[in-house]
Structure 1
């Protein structure tokens, strides 16, 4: 938001002077507005930066106030000409904004103001004749009035179109700056932040139209590509476009064997700041049918509706404040935990291990507790029971008991042994998702390191293969992890003489920079299969180490 806008010039007799400002008194006290608020800045301190030395002319500059609250964005201009005193005309149009806002969108505005008025000054002396009889005869609008309209229009509408005179019109628009999106990997899970299905246009890219129905906060990128029947690289590019416009966010895949640990932000959750625990309860608790829960994720309000499906189980459908409906089946709620088979350049959905699968389906349903009085009794009619609500204390205890070295499965068993059936009352995947998005938890990734392989990399006997790029391009052509890129297998170890592991597909992941999620996705293996492969890996005792970070 623009807090103030001003026009300053250098007068030979008075020095730097604020000729016009909006609102009045924002830079210097205005005699026309004696009851205005105190100036935002001390002009005596910053005036030498409003019209600076010659080295800073005709370039964008930023000046911070001494207290660090505000920033002045300016573009001082020097127009040399013999008709002016001292043979040059010095002026500056500046904006005052808060120091912590993104200044990139405002830089274009300041440049546009400086360039437009500099050209008008060269053509007909528009600025130098301000306040003279000539300006009054022309009947043109005062600069202070122009600045007020510019500030109000930009703050209210993000753009302005102001006719200055018969020949010139000032057109400006605020364009938000979007940072380049991070790389999208096959093991990432895109989560929509708005209702994508409602904004899809038939003129959009075909790949984008295909993948949007499958972005549900559960499917990983590779599964989205397979379900949409598009190649993985194209799906990644399309998702990067959605990331660029801040319509999705990327999370890690959810496994019951994964580890999570608390972040410092967990203190806000314990203190229930801004109703964080209430928001969490509405998002993760398994409610009776036909109730709604909402949570604000990434600035968007996400609403989840619970309704019984035809099979009698509860299916979750999630919609976000302006985004697509997320359909979560029981398998989806449990997360993907393993192997994906490829067939004709397509990847089948992950199969959960027996333990994880049973827990997954339990986590996605809302089992109805049976009253103690009815246990062991035979009933012929339906029994109506009430689901007990999860208290704030229980949610805080659940969130704060995640730690490094304790998997989600062990975490569930810990609370079940303590007498609280987590799967009966809480959707575990959504609880973890809430914690990660809100900055309460972080994923502890699993890596494998081979000392022998690191030594070979250091001495040049082996070269690190670019796993991400080659595997992403060849991912859809693999079958059960056996279709690894031969270039990587052969290139993993340059000197394979006497090395029985040179053709092992896991060899290239043993430098400690590739997490198990990447191996699972690119090699089509479950976590258990990876560990079995590592146990059979021919290496000296103590050579391999699996660590978490």
Structure 2
């Protein structure tokens, strides 16, 4: 918000002087408004920065008040010409804003004011003739009234269009600044913050139209690209556009073998600040049929709905060969619910519970129907839903820790007498904790001391993150080369025996297991088996969490 706007110029006999200001008295006391509030700034202290030394002219400058509460944004201009006293005309249009606001959108306004009035001064002496008989004869609007209109319009509407004279109109608009989006990796999971299907337009980019139907908060970026039949780089660029406009957020893939740990924000959850526990209960608990739940992300609700006639109420298990509906946290302005259908293989790849495998693998025991799913056995058995208390939710959220996987966390509570899978959607619980800043994902990395030494001495070249090793992939497919394996397990010349162990490039401690899982299409257990068979000196390889 603009607290004040002013026009200052340098007078040979008086020095720096505030010619016009809005509101009156915001910079210096105004005799026309004796009852106005005291000035925001001490002009005697900052006046040498309003019209600074020549080195700072024609540049954007920021001056903070001595108490640090306000910032002055200005663009002092010098117009050299022999018709002026001392052969130059010095002026500055400035804005006063709070020091903690984002100043980038206002920088464009200050530059536009300086450039516009500097050009008008060069054309017809608009500023230098202010207050003279010539200005009165032209019947033009005083600068002080212009500044008042600019301030009010920008604060109220974020834009202004003000005719100055017959030939000039001042057009300005405040554009919010969006920081460049972070890189989108293949192992990230995009989560929609609104119902993208409701806002899609036929004029949108074709890649965007293809991928949005697969953004459900479960699919990772590489899977989204594969399902949409688009190349991974194009899908990443499209998702970056959605990320730039704050329509999605990026999370990590969910595995029952992953570890999560609490953040300091967990104290707010324990204290149920702003109804955080109630919001969590509505989002993660397995409700009776037709009960809606939502979680707020950045002020917008992420809505989900349970249906009694679908398999989607079995969030922890899937049945082979049958379709499953996975709930996506999607939003709409009206608060309506949304769901996305997905195949069972997709759900099993990242989100299958260990209990589902054990029951389906034996062949002697049928999977237990999920609560509220409407699934039935041979008899008319109905399972009653027991409400999860605040104490139980707080206990669930606070027992995540480093070194304890979600599977071990689930078994811990089941051994204590609370069947987590029957009452809580574990994926939603973890997702809620990460989105709200209550939990963070503890990633797993592998590092080779010998490989790090080779990188430091230049004997090996670091693999650039996010770039596929196409040459090595082609060599592995074609079986090219009979190279030998070096001491660190890498290829010395050609492919050779290393074609079945492409993990060396990930052993610098900067590539998490999620990346290896996604790019090499391997499970966590397969990666560990590969590392065990990796040819390296004893004690060279280490797996760590951070």
Q: TM-score range by the shorter chain?
A: 0.7 to 0.9
> Cα distance 1:112–1:327, how it changes in 2: closer, same or farther (>3 A)?
same
Whether the 8 Å CA contact 1:5–1:95 is kept in 2: the answer is yes
Residues 463-517 of structure 1 deviation map (CA, whole Å, 9 limit, x = unaligned): 3333631259999999999999999999954468999x58621222122111110
8 A contact 1:334–1:356 mirrored in 2: no
Q: Which has the higher contact order (CA 8 A, sep 6+)?
A: 1
- Separation in 2 of the partners of 1:94 and 1:143? 13
CA distance in 2, matches of 1:319, 1:200: 33
Q: Contact (CA 8 Å) 2:306, 2:312: kept in 1 or not?
A: no
Shift of 1:181: 1.9
* C-alpha contact 1:262 1:402 (8 A) present in aligned 2: yes
CA distance in 1: counterparts of 2:335 and 2:533, whole angstroms? 28
CA drift at 1:344: 20
Cα distance change on mapping 1:491 and 1:547 into 2, 3 Å: closer
Deviation at 1:547, TM superposition (A): 0.6
* Number of residue pairs matched by the alignment: 546
> Could you tell me how far 1:255 is from its partner in structure 2?
0.6
Q: CA deviation at 1:526?
A: 0.6
Deviations along 1:441-465, one digit per CA (max 9) or x if unpaired, are 1111101122233333334443333
Q: Deviations over 1:80-136 (max 9, x none)?
A: 223333332211111112222221111111000001001111211111222222222
Structure 2 match to 1:522? 519
1:426 deviates by 1.9
Distance in 2, Cα, partners of 1:495 & 1:514: 24
Match of 2:503 in 1: 506
SS at match of 1:185: coil
Distance 1:359 1:338, change over 3 A: farther
Instruction: Provide the TM-score with structure 2 as the length reference.
Output: 0.84
Following the alignment from structure 2 to structure 1, what is the Cα–Cα distance between the partners of residues 362 and 278? Answer: 24
**8 Å CA contact 1:283, 1:294 repeated in 2:** yes
Runs (5+) with no aligned partner, structure 1: none
1:421-460 matched pairs, under 5 angstroms: 421-460=419-458
For structure 2, the residue ranges without an aligned partner over 5 or more in a row are none
CA contact (8 A) 1:226 1:347 kept: no
Distance 1:329 1:83, change over 3 A: closer
> Which residue does the alignment assign to 2:348?
348
**Are the equivalent residues in 2 in contact too, given 1:450–1:545 (CA < 8 A)?**
yes
C-alpha distance after superposition, 1:414-449 (max 9, x if no partner): 222222222222221112112212222111110112
Seen in structure 2, the aligned counterparts of structure 1 residues 211 and 374 have a Cα distance that, compared at 3 Å, is: closer
Q: SS of the residue aligned with 2:242?
A: helix
Which 10-residue stretch deviates more, 344-353 or 253-262? 344-353
CA deviation string 1:27-52 (max 9, x = no partner): 22333333333322222222211111
More divergent stretch after superposition (439-448 vs 484-493) = 484-493
Say what the alpha-carbon RMSD is for the aligned residues: 6.9
Aligned-pair CA distance for 1:535: 1.8
Q: TM-score, normalised by structure 1?
A: 0.84
State the Cα deviation string for residues 41-64 of structure 1 (Å, max 9, x = none). Answer: 222222211111111111100111
Rounded Cα–Cα distance in structure 1 between residues aligned with 2:291 and 2:24? 53
Displacement of 1:77 after TM fit? 0.9
Shift of 1:309: 2.8
Contact 2:309 2:374 in 1 (8 A): no
Q: Which 10-residue stretch deviates more, 166-175 or 410-419?
A: 410-419
Deviation at 1:375, TM superposition (A): 20
Q: Is the 8 A contact 1:336 1:352 kept in 2?
A: no
Partners of 1:129 and 1:135 within 8 A in 2: yes
Deviates more, 1:329-338 or 1:151-160: 329-338
**3-state SS in 1 of match to 2:316:** strand
Between 262-271 and 505-514, the greater mean CA deviation after superposition: 262-271
Native 8 Å contact 1:161 1:169 kept in 2: yes
In structure 2, relative to structure 1, the CA distance for the partners of 1:421 and 1:33 (3 Å cut) is farther
Answer with 106-115 or 537-546: which moved more.
Answer: 537-546
Decide whether aligned partners of structure 1 residues 361 and 269 sit closer, same or farther in structure 2, where only a CA change above 3 A counts.
farther
Quick check: 476-485 or 98-107, which moved more?
476-485
* SS at 1:68 equivalent: coil
After superposition, the Cα gap between the structure-2 partners of 1:123 and 1:466, relative to the gap in structure 1 and judged at 3 Å, is closer
**1:475–1:195 distance in 2 versus 1, CA, 3 Å:** farther
